[in-house]
Amino acid sequence: MPTQFMKSTLAMGTEAAEWVVLLHGMCRTSRSMRKMAGELEAAGFRVLNFDYPSRTASVESLANTFVDRAVSECRKQGARRISFVTHSLGGILVRSYLSRHELPELGRVVMLGPPNGGSEVVDRLAGLWLFGALNGPAGRELGTGRDSTPIRLGPVTFEVGVLAGDRSINWINSGMIRGPDDGKVSVERTKVEGMSGHRVVHATHPFIMRHPEAIRLTVHFLRRGTFD
């Protein structure tokens, strides 16, 4: 899939100094983040929403290539501050990128349904051929064991707000997960050491980025650094 940048259409002005990069989740596209993009633009942010081929490479490779490309694009547009709003795998890409790269312009990060502690679903299914075919190398890195990429990344050292869903429409997956979950990740495993805030919304994993409360909380955190 070619990378396709979807830039904000806001006029250049004071708000142009702050850009928000949107990173979709596994097997999704920038279309899944369009509602979020529109609401962020309405709130005064400049938005960069783009596609990346989530199933083609490892977490580190995807982060080095596509998060770096997004940062470069924001800098070209004159960004003085760069924040991120991510869904699922997108949050792990940001953590991976920032573990190896300095970003002086870094603002705040909101993660929606991130597998920060991995997912038991990956533990159970990662060895299956079909799982690998559907989710690629990065998908197999998101388990809960010692080799889990998100767990090995360690604590975050930047402002992060995490939103977790507690509604599932995938009862097969939920049967593999301990505690409340969104059909892919447990509420508990969305958490990461060092985060600035954590909230639960009554949303499913595939659609949390479109949930009105999740959008409201995302805008609030980007502005204030808190969900309160």
Q: What is the DSSP letter of 66?
A: I
Instruction: Identify the bridge partners of residue 81 per DSSP, sorted by sequence position.
Output: 18
Give the pLDDT score at 202: 98
- Two tokens, residue 19: 């850009």
> Residue 199: CB partners within 8 Å, gap ≥ 6?
161, 162, 163, 164, 217, 227
Give the pLDDT score at 17: 80
- Two tokens, residue 163: 């939103």
Ordered mean pLDDT values, 10 residues apiece, the chain (228 residues):
47 62 96 97 95 96 97 95 98 98 97 98 93 93 96 97 97 96 98 98 98 98 96
CATH number at 125 reads 3.40.50.1820
Range of the domain at 183: 5-224
Instruction: Identify the bridge partners of residue 110 per DSSP, sorted by sequence position.
Output: 85, 161
Question: What pTM did the predictor assign?
Answer: 0.93
User: pLDDT tens digits for 190-202?
Assistant: 999 999 999 999 9
Give the pLDDT score at 8: 45
Neighbour tally for 58: CB within 10 Å: 15
How many domains are contained in the chain? 1
Name the helix (H) or strand (E) containing 70. helix 68-76
Give the pLDDT score at 16: 56
Closest residue by Cα to residue 89 from 194, 184, 6: 184
User: pLDDT tens digits for 213-222?
Assistant: 999 999 999 9
Give the pLDDT score at 68: 97
Which residue's entry shows tokens 């508990």? 188
Give the pLDDT score at 10: 41
Q: CA 180, CA 69: separation in Å to the nearest integer?
A: 36
